[in-house]
Structure 1
Amino acid sequence: MYSTLKRLLIGKPLKSQQLGEQKISKTKALALLSSDALSSVAYGTEQILIVLVAISSAALWYSLPIAIGVLILLTALILSYRQIIFAYPHGGGAYVVSRENLGVNPGLIAGGSLLVDYILTVAVSVSAGTDAITSAVPFLHTHHILIAVLLVVVIMILNLRGLTESASILAYPVYLFVVALLILIAVGGYKMITGQVVQVNHSTIGTPITGLSLFLLLKAFSSGCAALTGVEAISNAIPAFKEPSSKNAANTLVLMGVLLGILFTGITVLAFGFGLVPKPEETVVSQIASETFGRSYLYYFIQGTTALILVLAANTGFSAFPQLAFNLAKDKYMPRMFTVRGDRLGYSNGIIFLGIASILLIILFGGETEHLIPLYAVGVFIPFTLSQTGMCLKWFRQKPKNWVLKMSINATGAVISAVVLMILFITKFKLVWSVLVFMPIVIWIFYMIKRHYNAVGEQLRMTEENLQPIEGNIVIVPIAGVTNVVERSIQYAKTLSDQVIAVHVSFDKETEKKIEKKWAELDNGVRLVMLRSSYRSLTSPLEKFLETVEAKATKYHYSVMVLVPQFIPKKSWHNILHNQSAFLLRLRLLWKKDIVVATLPYHFKK
């Protein structure tokens, strides 16, 4: 049943040799890895206007210079990350760059920030898409958490099917969104130029605004920088591209930057030209579409594709998180399960972990994740700043051809990113202070994992201290009674050692005498030890006995093995009819030092 359902949802397993077939083209990669960045167009401009309109509708003209500032930052980031792609063709992005050039701690801060940010990406994007759906169909609003969870599950399953399949499916809505907005910008721009728009709240460029401070302008700018989230995803997933992977990834990054710049600029200019102000009940994109097309089918087409892209923005997280988790796990800062490829050759454990974490976040915040957006932005600009600074040091140390130009590009990106990061902390400290708490916790977890793997490696290393001689073996066979299963276990134990001891834990004298009598009748040459348990505990008396045996065995370099007989019912549901004492005993003994625990199964035929 499980296997059938798994094959149905995920597909047939792929051979390891088919890994090359799972590489994606630039066209598919653009849709798969740019959905987060492109979707931010739906709310980037609106975030700027929300801050400005709180001062005065006349201040809305400042959205234009602020948008120019965002575009300058976008250009610097695209050029900087393009250099990172060529310098680090194996992926890893900000984590690898920061670790190699700035040190382990900056690398872990960059990696941890991005891991958390990808979880936020999924939670925020899916919740925003769910809000768009429930706004269109109001009676679904009471089920918005369930809808969000189901959407995460659907996207997770698509990604578990492999990069090629998920990219093929998810490419259509992403490109539909791009086409829809390009049509909106073209038609809206034409109407604005030809004077077909009634400008109710239009403000004149250059109008002086009373009460407008640098602090508020910086706050509006930092809010608009939410449009840049997801820009780094391509640099993390270079190995997913077809060869030449670096060149294809770099070209995809530039194309994403161009599209993002055009769409963000177009929406910002139209919002200003139409004289729009943010409304609680309607998004800015919806207002532009309504003013341009009315409530026609084109309006609903734009709204539909916008809702889709907001949901599918989560896919950037599902594409980049597993690769970043792989890089951290490879360096022993995350569990090794994140380095394992699944049936469809993707890093399935990373995909599943991300899905579960984002679902928990959605449930924890009741689907109302808008307060996470500032954290979302901080989680991006920390690695932005660290990676660009790291690249500056790289060029300065290595001094390759044109290193001054390369360092200047990265230095520009580093300075602007650092400024934006400071602005975010200053203007939105009440919303982002928690990053100062959970990031040290994340780094501490990384070091705990690393310490564990180092300790394991030290103990597994072949040294004289670790290689202790074993001159014999004592086999202990716990028995519940004298049965065919027990007799077979004893016979098997005798093939392993000539020192076999059967142990029975007795709860009453009557049962004890019966077992001693039956055991004497067997006459198999194996000693039976009876342990009395006054408190009806099976494991405690046995553990004390094993401690005694182990102390003597260690003295003579003998190992101690506990061979647990266990019968296996023909049908799985029969297990609930038995007390599972063998399983519980085995589970308890696994934590005992220097005790070998083995199971001898006996399968029933009826």
Structure 2
Amino acid sequence: MGSQVKRWLLGRPLKSKELGEQKLRKTKALAILSSDALSSVAYGPEQILLVLVTVGASAFWYSIPIGIGVLILLTALILSYRQIIHAYPHGGGAYVVSKENLGIFSGLIAGGSLLVDYILTVAVSVSAGTDAITSAFPSLHEHKVVIAVVFVILITILNLRGVTESASILAYPVYLFVLALFILIGVGLYNIATGAVSTDLHASIGTPVAGISLFLLLRAFASGSSALTGVEAISNAIPNFKEPAPHNAAKTLMSMGVLLALLFSGIVFLAYYYGISPHAQVTVVSQIAETTFGRHFMYFFIQATTALILILAANTGYSAFPLLAVNLAKDKFIPRMFTVRGDRLGYSNGIIMLGVLSIVLIVAFGGQTEQLIPLYAVGVFIPFTLSQTGMILKWIRQKPKGWFPRLLINATGALISFTVTMMFFLTKFAQVWAVLVFLPLILLLFYRIRKHYEAVGDQLRLATCEPVPPIKGNVVIVPVSGITHVVEHSLNYAQSLAADQIIAVYVPFEREEEVRFSEKWKKWRPDIRLVSLHSPYRSIIQPLSRFIDAVQHKAGESGYQVTVIIPQFIPKKGWHNILHNQTSLMIRTYLLHRKDVIVTTVPYHLKK
């Protein structure tokens, strides 16, 4: 039943040789890997206005120079990550760049930040998409957490079906969103050019504003820079591209940069010219669309596509998180299970983990996007800063042809990214302080996992571990609960091992029960020794474990191995298991942690 449901949800398993068919073309890759960056247009300009509104609506004209500053940072990041793609064509992004040029500690800071950032990508994107839906349908506002969780589950299932299939489905909403915003911006600019929009709605550029300060402007710039989250995703996901992967990834990155610049510029300008003021229940894009078209078809079309891309922007996290996890797992900093491909050739463990953690985050924050964005943004600007700094050192050390202009590009990106990071800590410490807590904890976890893998390797390696002592013989212990075919099957298996001694162990709770069973045993299997361990406190594990310890201690001194054979009957239907005591499972689980004891389960399958 479970396998049929899995096949229905995920599709047929794919062969390893079909991996090449799962690679992405540039058009699909642009939709999947740029959806996070493009979707941030829906809330990036709004974050600028949320800061400026504290001074007054007359300060909204500052959104224009702040927007220009964001575009300068975007240009530096796009050019920088284009260089990273060609310098590190196997992917890995900020983690690999920082690790190789700044050292393992910096690499882990970048990797840990990005892992958390991709979880936040899913949480922020889905929460923002839900906000767009509830802006159009306010009656759904109280159910936004449930709606967001459902969307995360659906996107997780879609990604488990494979990269190509998810890209084929998700590409259309992304391009519809781009088309919808271009229509909105085009119609808005036309209305402005024809004088259909009053100039009284906004303050003129250069209007003096009381209470404005450089600190507040830098804070607004840092908030607006949240529109650049997701820029690094393409450099992390180069292995997902069709060959030549680096060339295709670089072209996709440039296309994303152009689209993001045009959309961001258009929304910032329209928000300023229309005099849009941010509100808790209605997004800035929603207000611009309503002002431009009224609450008619185009308004709902823009709201629908905005909601879709905000939700589907989570797919950027699903594309990049598993690949980053693979790099960390190969370096033994996170569990190796993240390197295993699933039935559909995707790294399903990473996909599932990302979905679960994102749901936890959405529920914990109540789906409040504005509370997540600062934490989300600072989590990505730390890797931005580290990766650009790493590239600076790379150019200084290697000095390839034309290295100085590249160094200037990376230096500009590093300086601005560092400034934005510091501004987040200075101006929104109450919202981003958690970074200073979870990053050290993540680094500690990374090192503990690495230490464990190294310890395991040292103990398993033939050249370093202690020699395994020879085994002279075998003592077999068979816990029995009655005289049945299950026990008979296990005893026959024990005898086939040619063990030196076979001991059947019975744990009765009453003395009368002990006597009756002993008499039956003598008649049934007199050739096998029976040991009864009376348990007045009705525990099976404790008396059995004490007996095994005693036998193992004596056998170990003589060089004999103790093997415990556990009889286990298997019901025909899985749900029948809940009708039976799982004593054999408890015994096996307990004994697996006992040193120098081999545990073997002998299944007996029931036919009806």
TM-score (ref. length: structure 2): 0.97
What's the % identity of the aligned pairs? 67
The equivalent of 2:473 in structure 1 is 472
Report what 1:427 is aligned to. 427
- 1:289 partner amino acid: A
Corresponding position of 1:509: 511
Partner of 2:342: 342
Alpha-carbon offset, residue 115 of structure 1: 0.8
Question: Partner of 1:474: helix, strand, or coil?
Answer: strand
Aligned to 1:284: 284
- Equivalence for 1:199: 199
More deviation, 290-299/123-132: 290-299
Instruction: Name the structure 2 match of 1:593.
Output: 595
1:194, 1:282 → 2: CA distance? 27
Query: Within 5 A, what are the aligned runs for 1:103-252?
Result: 103-252=103-252
Partners of 1:369 and 1:41 in 2: how far apart?
14
Tell me how far 1:470 sits from its aligned partner. 1.9
Tell me, what secondary structure is at the counterpart of 1:473? strand
Amino acid at match of 1:300: F
2:19 corresponding residue in structure 1: 19
Aligned partner (choices 540, 565, 568) of residue 566 of structure 1: 568
Helix, strand or coil for the counterpart of 1:370?
Answer: helix
Q: CA deviation at 1:96?
A: 0.8
Higher mean C-alpha displacement, 505-514 vs 102-111: 505-514
- Over residues 148-190 of structure 1, what are the superposed CA-to-partner deviations in whole Å (9 max), with x where a residue is unaligned? 1111111111111111111111111100111111111122112
Equivalent residues in 2 for 1:169-568, closer than 5 Å: 169-463=169-463, 465-496=466-497, 497-568=499-570
Which residue is 2:75 aligned to?
Answer: 75
Q: Mean alpha-carbon deviation: is it higher for 450-459 or for 87-96?
A: 450-459
Label 1:581 to 1:41 Cα distance change in 2 as closer, same or farther (>3 A): same
Greater Cα offset, 225-234 or 145-154: 145-154
The residue matched to 2:533 in structure 1 has which SS? Answer: strand
Which digits, 9 at most, give the CA deviation of each residue in 1:294-335, with x for residues without a partner? 333222211211111111111111111111111111111111
Q: Which amino acid aligns with 1:474?
A: V
Cα deviation, residue 38, structure 1: 0.4
The amino acid across from 2:382 in the alignment is I
Structure 1 position 135, deviation (Å): 2.6
Provide the rounded CA distance (Å) in 2 between the counterparts of 1:12 and 1:244.
Answer: 28
**Over 4 Å off, 4+ runs:** none
Q: How far off is 1:545 after superposition?
A: 1.1
Over 3 Å counting, the alpha-carbon distance change for 1:582 and 1:238 in structure 2 is same
**Deviations 1:260-282, CA, capped at 9 Å, x for gaps:** 00111111122222233223343
State how 1:10-89 maps to structure 2 within 5 Å. 10-89=10-89
- Alpha-carbon distance in 2 for matches of 1:509, 1:355: 55
Secondary structure in structure 2 of the residue aligned to 1:506 = coil
SS in structure 2 of the partner of residue 563 of structure 1: strand
How far 1:427 moved relative to its partner?
0.9
Alpha carbons 1:459, 1:466 under 8 Å: kept: no
**How much does 1:466 deviate?**
4.4
**Between 201-210 and 144-153, the greater mean CA deviation after superposition:** 201-210
- 1:387 Cα deviation after fit: 0.7
Cα distance in structure 2, aligned partners of 1:441 and 1:323: 22
CA contact (8 A) 1:57 1:201 kept: no
Instruction: Provide the aligned length of Structure 1 versus Structure 2.
Output: 606
CA contact (8 A) 2:201 2:273 kept: no
Structure 1 letter corresponding to 2:130:
T
Q: Are the equivalent residues in 1 in contact too, given 2:97–2:391 (CA < 8 A)? A: yes
Q: Aligned AA for 1:244?
A: P
Q: Give deviations 1:414-434, integer Å, cap 9, x for gaps.
A: 111111111111111111111
Question: Residue 519 of structure 1 aligns to which amino acid in structure 2?
Answer: W
| Aligned equivalent of 2:585, options 551, 562, 583 | 583
- Alignment partners' CA distance in 1, 2:484 and 2:177: 71
Show structure 1 runs of 5+ residues with no match.
none
Q: CA RMSD in A?
A: 1.5
The answer as to whether partners of 1:121 and 1:314 remain within 8 angstroms in 2 is yes
Query: d(CA) in 2 for partners of 1:127 and 1:547?
Result: 56
* Distance in 2, Cα, partners of 1:493 & 1:588: 21
**Cα pair 1:199 1:275 within 8 Å, conserved:** no
Letter in 2 for 1:554: G
* Contact 2:503–2:529 (8 Å) recurs in 1: yes
Contact 2:489/2:604 (<8 A) preserved: no
The separation in 1 between residues aligned to 2:574 and 2:585, in whole angstroms, is 15
Report the alpha carbon displacement of residue 573 of structure 1 after superposing the two structures with TM: 3.6
| CA deviation after TM superposition for structure 1 residue 524, in Å | 4.4
2: CA distance, partners of 1:296 / 1:566: 67
Distance 1:360 1:304 in 2: 26
Q: Is the 8 A contact 2:44 2:223 kept in 1?
A: yes
Cα distance in 1 between the residues matched to 2:346 and 2:535: 52
Q: How far does the alpha carbon of each residue in 1:316-368 deviate from its partner, in whole angstroms, 9 at most, with x for none?
A: 11111111111111111111111111111111111111111111111122222
- In structure 1, give the amino acid aligned to 2:432: V
In structure 2, what residue type is equivalent to 1:364?
A
C-alpha distance in structure 2 between counterparts of 1:576 and 1:249, whole Å: 52
Q: Judging changes above 3 Å, is the alpha-carbon distance between structure 1 residues 57 and 286 closer, same or farther for their aligned structure 2 residues?
A: same
- The answer to whether the Cα contact below 8 Å between 1:156 and 1:352 also exists between their aligned partners in 2 is yes
Q: What is the SS of the residue equivalent to 2:43?
A: helix
Out of 69-78 and 120-129, give the one that drifted further.
120-129
SS of residue matched to 1:280: coil
Shift of 1:293: 2.3
The Cα of 1:536 is off from its aligned counterpart by 1.3
The answer to whether the Cα contact below 8 Å between 1:122 and 1:358 also exists between their aligned partners in 2 is yes
User: For residues 588 and 288 of structure 1, do their structure 2 counterparts lie closer, same or farther at Cα, with a shift above 3 Å needed?
Assistant: same
- 1:136 deviates by 2.0
Q: 1:415 and 1:403 mapped to 2: Cα distance?
A: 18
Q: Secondary structure at the match of 2:113?
A: helix
- Residues 391 and 410 in structure 1, CA contact (< 8 A), matched pair in contact too: yes
- Counterpart of 1:535 in 2: which secondary structure? coil
Letter in 2 for 1:552: K
After superposition, give the CA deviation of every residue in 1:411-452 in whole Å (9 maximum; x if it has no partner).
111111111111111111111111101111111111121112
Bigger drift between 230-239 and 57-66 goes to 57-66
Structure 2, unmatched stretches of 5+, are: none
Decide whether aligned partners of structure 1 residues 555 and 158 sit closer, same or farther in structure 2, where only a CA change above 3 A counts.
same
Does the CA-based 8 Å contact 2:128-2:310 persist in structure 1? yes
Instruction: Tell whether the 8 Å contact from 1:460 to 1:466 is kept in structure 2 after alignment.
Output: no
| Distance in 2 (alpha carbons) for counterparts of 1:411 and 1:520 | 86
Worse overlay, 172-181 or 51-60: 51-60
Which residue identity lines up with residue 90 of structure 1 in the other structure? H
2:475 aligns to what SS in structure 1? strand
Contact 2:95–2:108 (CA under 8 A) maintained in structure 1: yes
